Amino acid sequence: MKDFPAQTDVNLAAVTEFLWMEADLLDAKEYDQWLQLWTATGHYVIPVEKEGDDFANCLNIAYDNALMRDMRVKRLQGGFSISAAPPAESVRTVSRIVIDSVEGSLITVRAAQHVMEDKFGRQRSFAMNVTWKLEQTEEGLKIHDKIIRLLNSDGMLTSISYLF
């Protein structure tokens, strides 16, 4: 099991607690608090392709910078999108959390995530591999990038009424 170098106070337990807190905020639809978890320059990405990392030049379900994340949250909160009226209920499970690397203040973490959605009495299940690039800041951990690779992204170009 990987762990952080001794000179930092962040470890696998702290990273796990942060990821579980993010999942809890999203399940509770606490989107304004979720936005506060981000750095100003980070990206929220759901690529269609399972491989590669040139997201700016690929087809994505989502490729959100800070402005687009804010706009997505406003649509979810305001019901301005048909996919967000009403927003789905969701339950997330985050597991298999692995710290891949620590480079300066940037921590690359990957995990498995399972999301159950309930909307209009219909349930859907999504499995995904997620990579977070977390930044250690004076305020604590922040999400710099979140890359969500759905297992069946080919068939996912349908409405999603919440954030993964």
Q: Is the pLDDT of residue 153 over 70?
A: no
Is 160 within a domain? no
Is 3 within a domain? no
Is 117 within a domain? yes
Give kind and range of the element (H or E) at residue 105: none
pLDDT in tens, 51-70: 888 999 888 888 999 999 99
Q: Are 84 and 92 in contact (CB under 8 A)?
A: no
Q: Between residues 13 and 51, which one has the greater pLDDT?
A: 13
Confidence of residue 7 (pLDDT cuts 50, 70, 90): very low
Is 53 within a domain? yes
pLDDT in tens, 79-122: 665 555 677 889 999 999 999 999 999 999 999 999 999 988 88
* Gap between the Cα atoms of 33 and 27, Å rounded: 12
Q: Is the pLDDT of residue 39 over 70?
A: yes
Return mean pLDDT, the chain.
Answer: 87
Q: Is the pLDDT of residue 26 over 70?
A: yes
Domain count of the chain?
1
Is 142 within a domain? yes
Q: Answer yes or no: pTM beyond 0.85.
A: yes
pLDDT on residue 4? 47
Confidence of residue 6 (pLDDT cuts 50, 70, 90): very low
Q: Between residues 2 and 27, which one has the greater pLDDT?
A: 27
Tell me, what CATH number does 125's domain have?
3.10.450.50
Is 1 within a domain? no
C-alpha torsion sign, points 101, 97, 40, 116: positive
Domain limits for position 56: 12-155
pLDDT on residue 78? 79
C-alpha torsion sign, points 30, 106, 146, 18: negative
Percent of the chain with pLDDT over 90: 61
pLDDT on residue 161? 53
Q: Are 109 and 97 in contact (CB under 8 A)?
A: yes
